[in-house]
Structure 1
Amino acid sequence: MKIRREVEQEKHELNMTSMIDIVFLLLVFFVMTFKIVEMEGDFSIRMPLAGNGGQTSDVTDLPLKLRLRSDNDGNLTSMSLNEINLGTDFTKLRANIISLVGSDEPAEGDDGPEIEIDTDYNVRYAYIIQAITAVSGYKDDTNQVVKLIERIKFAKPRR
């Protein structure tokens, strides 16, 4: 009887030391392998207000308006920059932006030029991204980024 009581009174305990070691090992592993990446596509873009209020009154030296027109399927049919027809060629668009804005950095305290992108309601997203890429900058021969226009805003889409 005495042996039975001793066996019944034995307690089973879990050894937590090895579990804590594994948790800290995983923690160290994830901290050491974590890589911080730079944000992609960080544009200064202002979307139009939802209300019927008037347009914002930003006074710039160079008011640029880019109009993107599309057919019913969303394919780009034409582009115009300040009423200059560019067809559907984004390299022409970049060349016109460079001729209007130049590739010099804006003066200190100056935000630089601003462009308003006016699109049809059903234009495909890929064409809008190509337009933003064409007007925002490019890489030159030495692989340096040349910034053109950083302030981009959108007009309300046309139906």
Structure 2
Amino acid sequence: MKIRNKEAPTKTELSMTSMIDVVFLLLIFFILTFKIVELEGDFGIKMPLAGASSSSMDDFDVPITLRMTADADGNLISMKLNETNLGTDFEQLRSMVTSLVGNQAGPDASEEDGPEVEIDTDFNLRYEYVIEAITHVSGRKEGDQIIKLIEKIKFAAPRR
């Protein structure tokens, strides 16, 4: 005698909702733990040419130094551009940089050969003054035209 089960076979279904939740949780975890690392070893080294032995020094070999001093509250007291006292006038800073750079940083000047500014600040100087100095040193906008002055800016170690 044959016994037949006439029950309908049970279907097992996967719950896609919980799988999608797990995938989104993993995605959020990896996005939040992702750290962007700055590339190391990208140095702009300028080597002298082998046969060129000229004693004249290029104007762009020595960086332009901007010294910014602050009081105890972090307010700007004075600025010195290559030992020229500018007070706290950023417009005078821009005009001094324009006169130093002049037409040497024209449209055919490459970024590698351009002048370089080294900003030396006190440790407690507020960032707003540093950003203002970078803005006035890097260039200006006249109408729709952008006039670039200095593109290479580096910072000295902050003083305490």
Normalised to the residue count of structure 1, the TM-score between the two structures is 0.61
CA positional deviation for 1:107: 2.9
The count of residues paired between Structure 1 and Structure 2 equals: 117
Aligned to 1:111: 113
Q: Distance in 1 between matches of 2:121 and 2:136?
A: 15
Q: Which secondary structure does the structure 2 equivalent of 1:6 belong to?
A: coil
- Encode CA deviations 1:23-62: one digit per residue, 9 max, x unaligned: xxxxxxxxxxxxxxxxxxxxxxx9xxxxxxxxxxxx7514
| Equivalent residues of 2:111, 2:151 under 8 A apart | no
Code of the aligned partner of 2:11: K
Q: Which secondary structure does the structure 2 equivalent of 1:102 belong to?
A: helix
Code of the aligned partner of 1:100: L
Q: Distance in 2 between matches of 1:109 and 1:122?
A: 31
| Equivalent residues of 1:106, 1:112 under 8 A apart | no
Aligned to 1:6: 7
Aligned to 2:59: 61
**Gapped runs of 5+ residues in structure 2?**
17-42, 44-56
Q: Distance in 2 between matches of 1:102 and 1:86?
A: 19
Normalised to the residue count of structure 2, the TM-score between the two structures is 0.61
Q: What fraction of aligned residue pairs are identical, expressed as a percent?
A: 56
Q: Distance in 2 between matches of 1:134 and 1:109?
A: 18
Relative contact order (C-alpha < 8 Å, sep 6+): which is higher? 1
Assess, with a 3 A threshold, how the Cα gap between structure 1 residues 74 and 5 changes in structure 2: closer, same or farther: farther
Please give the root-mean-square deviation of Cα atoms over the aligned residues, in Å: 3.1
